[in-house]
Amino acid sequence: MELKDVIIIGAGLAGATFALKISKFAKTLLIEAQDYHKEIPKRTNIFPEHNRPFIQEEIDWGNKKIFPCAHTKSNYMSDEFNGVIDSTEFGIPLGNISYTENLIGELINKFEQQGGIFHSNESISKVNKHSEYLELINAKGESYSTKLLVLTTGSRGFELQRSLGFETPDHYTGAYIHLYGSEAKITENLDVNYTFHINPKISKNGPFFFNKGIERVSAGFLGEKNQSKEEILSKLDRILKNYKPIQSIIDGLKYDLSTAVVGDISKHPIKKFSQDRVLVLGEAAGLVTAFFYEGLLPGVACADIATNTLKPLIEKNSNFNQLELQKYDKDVKRILLTYFRNGNALEYLIYKDNSYVKSLWRLYTKLISENKTVREYIYLAYINQDLANHKVGNDRYVGEKLLGMLPFLQKLSLSPRFIKAMLL
Ligand SMILES: Cc1cc2nc3c(=O)[nH]c(=O)nc-3n(C[C@H](O)[C@H](O)[C@H](O)COP(=O)(O)OP(=O)(O)OC[C@H]3O[C@@H](n4cnc5c(N)ncnc54)[C@H](O)[C@@H]3O)c2cc1C
């Protein structure tokens, strides 16, 4: 049996980006359970400018099939206010809108052109650890061996990561769907690229969102832990049909509920991302921002950090022991977790208990609409090219302004919560 240098399980954005980067230095096999030769529903995501440094060289940023348009405007929307961040107020766009499956497809093409091997429609069901190598067994009973295993299995490979002794992140059921219409109609309904709306009756865990592509808008929300597919789809249907604040956005657009995609999404990082001969990247490690469920950034960032850790180890023919791989854990925490504090703080403030969700969100959207410095600080977080040095002071300023807007009695009762949120 041929011994590979690296085997990656899972070709989402984390796995595909990492495969392309590492295959410059190592014999690499990328394995994906879904059948990528079949048509896979295209996601329409926001891809902020702060993702760019981690994947700058790997893609053609002008490719409209990958990035159909720039992301210039976000709306943090409540029942009363539109907190709009418009990049033209400050400078370059907030980022791009991505057709993420096209991006992944392009990364895999380049990986294969570079000599990497890609197996799609193949699921790995078991991993046996040996001191010199790992043995992977697929659902058909075939096996592979590798010096290093990289798990980029998202929220869909928890059994495998558990069997290797890793923690699994807390995870919730999410649903999204595409709505279609002419460009003119979509622009008439929605003049921003991204809308983020919170109502605890929709979910106590996350927002309802719209991401605008070309002739399509994706809509979705994060539901409950272990919510069934039927339940979340029926709720999505009711929201799309009846929920007043969004009716003007979906008016005249077409959708088919049977095309909705349901899957788990993780929210908080596990403690350890490496062990002897194994690394965990992206959402599998729970690396998704808690409040905005931004998971593409951690996918590309982990891929870049893992490559930087592994390149010198591959060159010196390392045995990839835990001590050597610890650098990956340290760098992921240093580069991503400072930025993550903002999402943790917002999650703690707004979702801690049901009673203040709506009023705090309303106040936050009012603050964004009225205060230019707050808008500028949010803008700067979108375009930051050095996340390890994300300015926590900016987030603190926003927190203080929000606290200052509370009516006297609420200020008294919520002050301890604000102080704790700022220390998270
Ligand atoms: C509704 C919704 C909207 C979102 N919008 C945004 C957004 O706009 N911007 C943003 O930044 N983030 C967004 N996110 C989060 C982001 O999409 C994910 O966090 C990110 O795509 C995760 O990437 P990944 O590569 O880590 O995992 P995944 O994309 O989940 O990839 C894991 C892959 O591993 C494969 N796999 C799993 N187990 C096995 C196995 N045993 N054998 C072989 N293959 C296996 C799976 O088939 C899968 O393809 C959103 C999430 C949801 C749910």
DSSP states of 237-273 as a string?
Answer: HHHHHH-HHHHHHHTT-B--GGG-EEEEEE-S--S--
76 occurs within a structural domain: no
Alpha-carbon gap, residue 103 to 65, rounded angstroms: 8
Residues 6+ apart with CB under 8 A from 24: 114
Q: Please check whether residues 19 and 105 belong to one and the same domain.
A: yes
Between vectors from CA 218 to CA 228 and to CA 251, what angle results, nearest 5°? Answer: 105
Nearest residue (by CA) to ligand 1, atom 49, is 12
Both 140 and 249 in a single domain? no
CA distance 106 to 129: 32
What integer pLDDT is reported at residue 22 of this predicted model?
98
Does ligand 1 come within 6 angstroms of the Cβ of 282? Answer: yes
Ligand 1 pocket residue status of 297, Cβ below 6 Å: yes
Ligand 1, atom nearest to 261 Cα: 1
Is the distance from the beta carbon of residue 293 to the nearest atom of ligand 1 less than 6 Å? yes
Contacts of 134 (CB under 8 A, 6+ apart): 7, 127, 128, 145, 146, 147, 148, 149, 277, 278
Q: By residue range, what is the domain housing residue 221?
A: 171-265
Q: Could you give the residue ranges of the DSSP H alpha helices within 154-266?
A: 158-163, 183-189, 229-242, 244-250
Q: Which atom of ligand 1 is nearest to the CA of 160?
A: 41
Q: Is residue 123 located within the same domain as residue 47?
A: yes
Q: Do 416 and 393 fall into the same domain?
A: yes
Task: Tell me whether residue 235 is in a domain.
Answer: yes
Q: Please give the distance, rounded to the nearest whole angstrom, from the Cα atom of residue 283 to the centre of ligand 1.
A: 7
Same structural domain, 52 and 129: yes
pLDDT digit of tens for each residue in the chain (424 aa)? 789 999 999 999 999 999 999 999 999 999 999 999 888 888 999 999 999 999 999 999 999 999 999 999 999 999 999 999 999 999 999 999 999 999 999 999 999 999 999 999 999 999 999 989 999 999 999 999 999 999 999 999 999 999 999 999 999 999 999 999 999 999 999 999 999 999 999 998 889 999 999 999 999 999 999 999 999 999 999 999 999 999 999 999 999 999 999 999 999 999 999 999 999 999 999 999 999 889 999 999 999 999 999 999 999 999 999 999 999 999 999 999 999 999 999 999 998 888 899 999 999 999 999 999 999 999 999 999 999 999 999 999 999 999 999 999 999 999 999 999 988 8
Q: Is 86 inside any structural domain?
A: no
Residue 209 domain flag: yes
Amino acid at 169: P
CA 225 to chain centre: 18
Residue 12 CA, ligand 1 centroid: distance in Å: 6
Question: Which CATH number does the domain housing residue 24 bear?
Answer: 3.50.50.60
Verify whether ligand 1 is closer than 6 Å to residue 31 (CB atom).
yes
Last residue of a domain, one of 279, 308, 336: 336
**Is the same domain home to 126 and 43?**
yes
Which of 230, 265, 300 is a domain's end point?
265
Q: How high is the pLDDT of residue 332?
A: 98
Do 47 and 382 touch, CB atoms closer than 8 A? no
* Residue 294 is assigned to a structural domain of this protein: yes
The pLDDT of residue 241: 96
> How much distance in Å is there from the Cα of 32 to the middle of ligand 1?
12
Question: Do 138 and 233 belong together in one domain?
Answer: no
Gap from CA of 136 to ligand 1 centroid (Å): 22
Its pTM stands at: 0.97
233 and 302 share one domain = no
Work out how many domains the chain is built from and give that number.
Answer: 3
Return d(Cα 288, Cα 225) in angstroms, integer: 16
Cβ-contact 264, 174 below 8 angstroms: yes
Closest CA to 173 of 82, 300, 264, 91: 264
Single out the residue of 37, 63, 56, 39 nearest to residue 118, CA to CA: 37
Report whether residue 83 contacts ligand 1, using a CB cutoff of 6 Å: no
Establish if 332 belongs to a structural domain.
Answer: yes
The reply to whether 332 and 347 lie within a common domain is no
Ligand 1 centroid to 169 CA: how many Å? 14
With left for phi above 0 and alpha for psi between -120 and 50, is residue 273 left, alpha or beta?
A: alpha
CA 154 to centroid of ligand 1, rounded, Å: 5
| Residue 297 CA to ligand 1 centre (angstroms) | 11
Where a domain ends, among 336, 352, 368?
336
Ligand 1 mean position, distance from CA 295 (Å): 7
For residue 255, give the amino acid letter: Y
Contact 160, 151 (CB under 8 A): yes
**Which letter, b or e, does each residue of 216-235 get, where b requires 16 or more Cβ atoms within 10 Å of its Cβ?**
bbbbbbbbeeebeeeebbeb
127 lines ligand 1 (CB under 6 A): no
**What is the 321 CA–ligand 1 centroid distance (Å)?**
28
Q: Cβ contacts of residue 104 below 8 Å, gap of 6+?
A: 11, 12, 13, 16
Q: Indicate which residue's Cα is closest to atom 1 of ligand 1.
A: 176
- Residue whose Cα lies nearest atom 27 of ligand 1: it is 154
Which residue, judged by its Cα, is nearest atom 35 of ligand 1? 10
> Residue 53 carries which side chain, given as an amino acid letter?
P
Atom of ligand 1 nearest to the CA of 10: 34
Query: Other CB atoms closer than 10 Å to residue 317's CB: what's the count?
Result: 8
Task: Answer whether residue 85 is part of any domain.
Answer: no
Same domain, 27 and 145: yes
Report the half-sphere exposure of 215 (CA within 13 A, side-chain side). 1
The answer to whether position 75 is within a domain reads: no
Same domain, 147 and 254: no
Question: Is 324 found in the same domain as 276?
Answer: yes
